[in-house]
């Protein structure tokens, strides 16, 4: 139990909400809806691998404020399909128009998320979400799932057009929660944005190594591979 800590902030995507899994399921269905495989002899896996890389890269640039939200929306499907030889506006248009709405209908959470949130709330911690995701998506991912039963505040970097690791995003989260940095912990799956960012603002970071990447080593703060390990910390 961390005695000073009263508030625990969570990143949302791939920390509580299983973004990778939900995106893959959604895209697989959409791929079938418009018969891409049959029309273009392009396997879903080839498409998905290419899309995933491009999307991760665009979000990294978004964090660095080098591209806008609109750039992500305009490029991730169109450029992926073009690169794979699918010059078909109807197809990428279908993904552009429907993906954001459909993905929040697949609402798998990260393994043990609910049990962990329940444990922490029962122990008396106040729980919050701070995400780099778009406002509307962030709200839906919380309010359409059991996460809503546990968290007090929701913050999206888009509210102030800043992204973690920018300190303003953590500060906005703490302001809404009426929390001080020294009584706050931050749990997230992104080393730079979540862990180093929250550490700089004076919060106590915990790295959720959900990809189980061996390169991350203990560095003065805990590293966990399963959310349930938070029970050993708090
Ligand atoms: Mg994340």
Domain 7-18+109-233 has CATH 3.40.50.1000: yes
Q: Are 169 and 157 in contact (CB under 8 A)?
A: yes
Where is average pLDDT lowest: 1-5, 11-15, 45-49, 130-134? 1-5
User: CB within 8 A of 117, min separation 6: which ones?
Assistant: 16, 127, 146, 147, 149, 150, 151
Q: What would the pLDDT profile of 46-95 be if each residue is shown by its tens digit?
A: 999 999 999 999 999 999 999 999 999 999 999 999 999 999 999 999 99
Q: Which two tokens stand for residue 200?
A: 């700089």
Query: Residue 228: which H helix or E strand, with range?
Result: none
Alpha carbon of 190 to ligand 1 centroid (Å):
6
Q: Are 188 and 181 in contact (CB under 8 A)?
A: no
Query: Residue 232, exposed/middle/buried by CB under 10 A (0-12, 13-18, 19+)?
Result: exposed
Domain edges within the chain = 7-18+109-233, 19-103
Per-residue pLDDT band for 121 (boundaries 50, 70, 90) equals very high
Per-residue pLDDT band for 214 (boundaries 50, 70, 90) equals confident
Phi-psi region of 44 (alpha: psi -120 to 50; beta: other; left: phi over 0): alpha
Alpha carbon of 123 to ligand 1 centroid (Å):
25
Alpha carbon of 45 to ligand 1 centroid (Å):
23
User: What is the per-residue pLDDT for 3?
Assistant: 72
Query: Residue 13: which H helix or E strand, with range?
Result: none
Task: Spell out the CATH class of 19-103.
Answer: mainly alpha
């Amino acid at each position: 139990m961390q005695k000073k800590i009263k508030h625990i902030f969570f990143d949302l995507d791939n920390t509580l909400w299983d973004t990778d899994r939900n995106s893959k399921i959604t895209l697989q269905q959409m791929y079938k809806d418009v018969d891409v495989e049959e029309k273009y002899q392009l396997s879903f896996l080839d498409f998905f691998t290419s899309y995933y890389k491009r999307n991760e890269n665009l979000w990294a640039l978004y964090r660095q404020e080098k591209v806008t939200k609109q750039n992500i929306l305009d490029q991730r499907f169109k450029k992926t399909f073009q690169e794979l030889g699918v010059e078909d506006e109807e197809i990428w248009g279908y993904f552009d128009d429907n993906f954001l709405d459909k993905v929040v209908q697949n609402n798998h959470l990260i393994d043990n998320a609910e049990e962990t949130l329940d444990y922490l709330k029962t122990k008396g911690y106040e729980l919050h979400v701070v995400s780099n995701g778009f406002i509307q998506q962030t709200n839906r991912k919380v309010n359409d799932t059991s996460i809503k039963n546990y968290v007090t505040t929701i913050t999206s970097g888009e509210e102030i057009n800043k992204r973690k690791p920018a300190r303003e995003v953590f500060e906005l989260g703490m302001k809404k929660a009426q929390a001080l940095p020294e009584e706050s912990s931050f749990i997230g799956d992104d080393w730079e944005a979540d862990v180093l960012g929250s550490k700089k603002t004076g919060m106590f970071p915990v790295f959720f190594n959900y990809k189980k990447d061996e390169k991350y080593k203990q560095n003065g703060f805990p590293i966990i591979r399963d959310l349930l390990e938070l029970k050993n910390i708090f």
